[in-house]
Structure 1
Amino acid sequence: MHPDTTILRHFLGGPGILPMAPEYLATSAIICLNLEWWQKEPHPTTEIGIAEFFPSTTGPSMHAANHLSNIRIAHARIMPHAHLENQFSGAGKAEDLFYFGTTKYITLSSARDILTNTLLRTNTAGQKQPIILLLHGAEAKLAHLKNKLGVDVAGLGTVVKILDTQTLAKQANIPAQKGAMISLADLSRHFNIAPVNHHNAGNAAAYTIMCGILATLKHEIYGKYLPATGLSQVPPTTILGRSMGDVVGSVMRANRNAPVVPWGTEVFCTRCDGLDHLVGMCMARVLCEECLGSGDPRKVRAARTHKVEKCVFRVRGDGGGAMDLSN
C-alpha cells in the first residue's frame, strides 16, 4: 500500500509516481472540505468551506507557488445558524473574515445539495468523476457530514481516496506541537503560513489544501535548504527572493478576483433575516419575548438585540424551550 504522500504526489503531476494507477483516475478531482459547527450542543453546522486544486503538468516551483495558484476556494455560512458565534481563537465570526473570496449565505438544504454535487459529478467524458477528498481531522468531519448534514461520503461511490493532512504531516516528518496529531494552525505555521481566522471554514479549507500540497512536496522543494538531519524543521520563510507570505497573498488575490460561485446570496442579516442588508447595517426592530419576560436582568437587557427564534439562551438550555438545531 502506498503512503498518502505518494498518492497525492501522483495527482500533483509526478511523472511515473504510480505507473500502475488505473487510467480512469487521471480525471480525478482533488477537493478539500471543511466544516465549522457551533461549539455548544447539539453542534449545528454554521459554515462550509470548499477548495479544489486544478492540477499542473509542471513540477513544483519555489513554495509550490505554481500549484497553490491553481486552488479555488468557496465559503458559505448556513443561514439558520449563522448567528451562532464560537468564542474560541480563530473562529470565523463575521462576513469580512474570509480572505480568499466572497462569503455566501445558503440554506441548510442547499448546503447538503452543494456538498453532494461537489463530490458527485461527471467528468468531460460523462462518467462519474473520481474524487480525492482532503480533510484535516477526517474522522470528525466525515461523521459530521453524515450525522448532521446527511451526506454519506462512502455511499456516493465517487470518493476513491480520503486523505488527512494530519497523516500527510506525519509521513513528511512534521512533528505535532501538542498531542499525537498536529493542529491545522501548527501545520500552517510550519510552512510559514499565518493561520489567521483559521476557524472560518473557507480560510480553513484554503490552509488545509495548501498544507496538504506543501507537506507532500516538502522534501522535494525544501530538501536542499534543510540539513540532512533536520528535514522535520520549518523551511526558510524566504528563498530566492520569494516569501511564503507573498505566495499566500497571491492566492488570496487570485481567488478574490475569480468569478463568484453561482449559489447562495451575498447579503443576509443574521439578526433579522433580511435579504437587503448585513447585520452591521440592521435597523430592524426585533424582540425576544422570552428574554423580556424572564426576570433575569442580563436577558432583559439583551431582549431587543435578537428575535426569539435566534435566542442563544434557549439553545444553551437556560431559558425557555430549546430551538430545533438537530442539524
Structure 2
Amino acid sequence: MPSPNDSVSSLLGSSPDSTVSPSLPLLPATPFSDLNEELYSKSGKEVLEHCLVQGLRPVASIVLASTKENLHDVARGNLDTNCMLFALHGPEVTVSNEVIVAGWAQVTLEDLEALDWLHSSIKGKPLLVAAMADLGSPTPFGELKSHFAKRNFNDLEILHHCLGLKAVEMKPSMSPNVANTRTIAQDLAKHSLLVCIDVEHYTLNSDEMTEIGVGVIDTEESAMVSHARQFGDHGQNLMQLAHYHHFRLIEKSHLLTTNVKSRGAEGNRFGKSRFVTFSEARDILQKILVQPITTVKALKGFNRPVVIMGHAIKNDCAHLNGKDLGFDIDGLGTIIRVIDTQQIAVDCKFWHHPTDPIGLRALVNKLEFDHTDAHTAANDAARTMICAILMAVPKQARKGCGRSVNEVARLVETYSQGASKALGGTAEYCSKCGSTTHVSKACNEKGLLHCDECVSRGLDELSMNHIPLHCPIVRDEVVAERHKWYDDQLWTPKYPFTSRNRLQTFAPNAPKVQPATPEEIAARRQHYDKQRNSRGAWEAFTWAGRSFDKSPQHEAGMPQGSHPISPKGPHKSAARSGPSDGISGLGRGGSSNASNSRGTSATRARGGIGRGRSRFLENTSNEDF
C-alpha cells in the first residue's frame, strides 16, 4: 500500500508541499482562515459530514506535519483558492489515490458508515482537505444568493430584511437535499450584515482614492429592535446600531480637498478616523466583509452573508477595485446582494425619476436633516445609512416624535463617536514627514526633510519641506496632465484618464512605475527654470510623451457612442488652483478657474437635485490602454 506522501505526490504531480491545483474549476466557498478547536478535534467522519451537508466535496489532500500551527498556516495561505479547508484524520496507511479520487467522487453521508477508518479520532498526521462546491447539488450560500437576487426582491425589500423589519423567506422544496440546504440558508440569512460603503477621492483628480467610509449593522441586533417595535424617534434605535469607520489612506493623505465648501477628511463626524496604508485597508475590509459564524454550532464553518449598500454604490465598488486598493468584493464569496439608496428612493416612491437618480445631498434635504461636511467618506456612508433607515421604517415610527430628524441625526453622530472601535491603523499621521506621532499641522520638521522629486526639478526651496511620497509638485503635475488629457479630446464621453503610469500604484502585484527618462527630466528642469523670474503664477509641467495625442486611444479615434464637441480655449494648468504648498505657492499671482475635477461628477453620479448625469462624461466603457 502506498505511503501518504507517495499518494499525494502522484495526485499533485509534485511534492506534498505544493499548492493544490485541481483540474476542476473551483467555485466560491467559505474558507477556513482559522480552524477552530472543536472542528480540529472531530473524527474524519464528522468532518466529512460537515463538508457534505454544506454541499462541498473534497478534491485533493495534502499530508502535513502533526502540529495545528502548520495546519493553520496552510489554511491561511490557501484563502485565495476559494476552497473550503477541513482537517481530516485517520490512519495514514489507508490513504490512496483510489480513496481520495474515486472514493470521494460519489460519496454520500450513508457511504461514510462503510469507511471504518473515518471513525478514528486524532491519530498520527492530519490531512488537509480542499473541498469545492459540488456541481450537482446547491450550497446553502449559493441558494441564499440566488434567492436574494433582483428578480425576486427589490432593494427596499432586501433593506427591510437587513433591518429585521420583514424576513426574506426561502421557498420550500420537495427534494430532501434541497430542503435541507434551504433550511441552512434560511438560518444563514438571520446572521446577515448590512455594510454601507463610501469612497472619496482627491478633488482635482478622481483617479486618486483618499478615504473609505464604512458603516455596519448586524441583522441579529436590528431584528431584536424591530421585533420589539422599539424604533425610537424616526428609527433612532436602529440608526445607533451602526458602527462607523473612517479610513484615511496614508499614501494619499497629502491630497487634501480644494473644495471651499468641504473640509474633506478633516471634517469627519462619525466614528473615529484612522490612518491606514492601502495594504492595511485591504486587510481591514477583508475582516469586515468575511466574518466566520462562531455563535451557532450548526453554522460553524460558514461566513456571515453580507449585503453591500451605498449611494451610487456601483461607482464605489469599482473604485475599491481600482489601481491602488485592488479590492474585489465579488471575489470574497460572502456578498449576497448589493443595494443602492438611489434605487430604494424609487422603490418606496420617495423619488419619481428612475432615469435621473437623486443625489445624496438632495435626498438628505428631502428627509429634513443637515448634510454638514459632505464628501467626507464616513459622513457620506453614515448619511446614506440614516437615509435608508428613514425610508424603510414604518410610518408610525416617524409620527409623534419628540425630536426632529435633524436632532436625531446629530445625536447619532455623537453616539457613533463613543461607540467606535479602532480596527487598525494609527490615530495620527503626518503627510509631510511620514511620522505617526503627529499630524501635518503640528510638524516641526520643515526645512529638515528631503525630496528627490523637487531636487530633480531644481526646486530646492521646496525639497526640504516634505518626503518624496507626499511631493506636492508631482501631485500638481498629474492634475495638469489629467486636465490636458480631457481638453485634448474633442468628443464626449471621453476616454478616462489614469494615473497608473505616472504615480506609483499600491494594489497587490502592481508593477513599479518606470522612472522618468533623461529627456523628461531635462525638459521639466528647463520648464521650471524658465519660470523663475515670472511675476505670474507658475504652470505645472506636463510631459508630451504621456499626452493624449501620443496615446493609443488617440490613434483609435472617437469611441463608439461618443459625439463631437466644440474645442475649448488654450489649456490652463489646473495646478494653479491647487493647495499653496505646490506649484501655486511658487508664483506671485493669478489663479485659474480649473478647480472642477473633470469627470468626477459623471463617475460618481451623486450630486444635485437628481442630476444623475453631468454635462461632462468619461467613456468608462472603454478600457484604459
TM range (shorter): 0.7 to 0.9
Secondary structure of the 1:23 match is helix
The aligned counterpart of 2:216 is 52
Secondary structure of the 1:47 match is strand
> Structure 2 vs 1, CA of residues 179 and 18 (structure 1 numbering), >3 Å: closer, same or farther?
closer
Secondary structure of the 1:275 match is coil
Query: Is residue 214–residue 245 contact of structure 2 (8 Å, CA) maintained in 1?
Result: yes
Amino acid in the other structure paired with 1:214: L
Amino acid in the other structure paired with 1:20: M
The aligned counterpart of 1:117 is 287
The aligned counterpart of 2:335 is 159
Relative contact order higher in (CA < 8 Å, ≥ 6 apart) = 1
The aligned counterpart of 1:313 is 473
Query: Is residue 265–residue 377 contact of structure 2 (8 Å, CA) maintained in 1?
Result: no
The aligned counterpart of 1:231 is none
1:142 to 303, 317, 326: 317
Between 315-324 and 127-136, the greater mean CA deviation after superposition: 315-324
Amino acid in the other structure paired with 2:156: T
| Deviation (angstroms), 1:266 | 0.4
| Deviation (angstroms), 1:154 | 1.5
Query: Is residue 310–residue 341 contact of structure 2 (8 Å, CA) maintained in 1?
Result: yes
The aligned counterpart of 1:263 is 424
Secondary structure of the 1:43 match is strand
Amino acid in the other structure paired with 1:85: L
> Structure 2 vs 1, CA of residues 270 and 253 (structure 1 numbering), >3 Å: closer, same or farther?
same
> Structure 2 vs 1, CA of residues 91 and 117 (structure 1 numbering), >3 Å: closer, same or farther?
farther
> In the TM superposition, what whole-angstrom CA distance separates every residue of 1:159-216 from its partner, at most 9, and x where no partner exists?
1111111111111223389981111111112222211112111111111111112122
**1:11 paired to 2:162:** yes
**1:175 paired to 2:326:** no
Count of aligned positions: 307
| Deviation (angstroms), 1:115 | 1.1
What CA distance in whole angstroms lies between the structure 1 residues aligned with 2:243 and 2:261? 21
What CA distance in whole angstroms lies between the structure 2 residues aligned with 1:112 and 1:262? 12
Tell which structure's C-alpha radius of gyration is larger: 2
> Structure 2 vs 1, CA of residues 214 and 30 (structure 1 numbering), >3 Å: closer, same or farther?
same
Secondary structure of the 1:63 match is helix
Q: CA RMSD in A?
A: 2.9
2:385 to 201, 209, 230: 209
> Structure 2 vs 1, CA of residues 77 and 90 (structure 1 numbering), >3 Å: closer, same or farther?
farther
The aligned counterpart of 1:234 is none
Query: Is residue 42–residue 326 contact of structure 1 (8 Å, CA) maintained in 2?
Result: no
| Deviation (angstroms), 1:82 | 0.9
| Deviation (angstroms), 1:53 | 1.5
In the TM superposition, 1:58-69 aligns within 5 A as 58-59=228-229, 60-69=231-240
Gaps in structure 2 of 5+ consecutive residues: 1-151, 172-185, 482-500, 508-625
| Deviation (angstroms), 1:33 | 1.3
Query: Is residue 38–residue 46 contact of structure 1 (8 Å, CA) maintained in 2?
Result: yes
What CA distance in whole angstroms lies between the structure 2 residues aligned with 1:248 and 1:119? 26
The aligned counterpart of 1:20 is 170
What CA distance in whole angstroms lies between the structure 1 residues aligned with 2:261 and 2:286? 27
What CA distance in whole angstroms lies between the structure 2 residues aligned with 1:82 and 1:176? 39
> Structure 2 vs 1, CA of residues 317 and 122 (structure 1 numbering), >3 Å: closer, same or farther?
same
1:323 to 503, 513, 520: 503
**1:246 paired to 2:426:** no
| Deviation (angstroms), 1:32 | 0.9
| Deviation (angstroms), 1:288 | 4.5
Amino acid in the other structure paired with 1:209: M
Query: Is residue 434–residue 467 contact of structure 2 (8 Å, CA) maintained in 1?
Result: no
The aligned counterpart of 1:228 is none
Secondary structure of the 2:170 match is coil
Between 54-63 and 130-139, the greater mean CA deviation after superposition: 54-63
What CA distance in whole angstroms lies between the structure 2 residues aligned with 1:245 and 1:113? 35
Amino acid in the other structure paired with 2:475: V
What CA distance in whole angstroms lies between the structure 2 residues aligned with 1:18 and 1:130? 13
Amino acid in the other structure paired with 1:323: L
> Structure 2 vs 1, CA of residues 74 and 90 (structure 1 numbering), >3 Å: closer, same or farther?
farther
**1:280 paired to 2:450:** no
Query: Is residue 233–residue 408 contact of structure 2 (8 Å, CA) maintained in 1?
Result: no
Query: Is residue 310–residue 384 contact of structure 2 (8 Å, CA) maintained in 1?
Result: yes
Secondary structure of the 2:199 match is strand
1:108 to 278, 295, 306: 278
**1:83 paired to 2:254:** yes
What CA distance in whole angstroms lies between the structure 1 residues aligned with 2:359 and 2:260? 13
Runs (4 or more) in structure 1 with deviation over 6 Å come to 176-179, 318-321
| Deviation (angstroms), 1:142 | 1.2
The aligned counterpart of 1:198 is 374
Secondary structure of the 2:321 match is helix
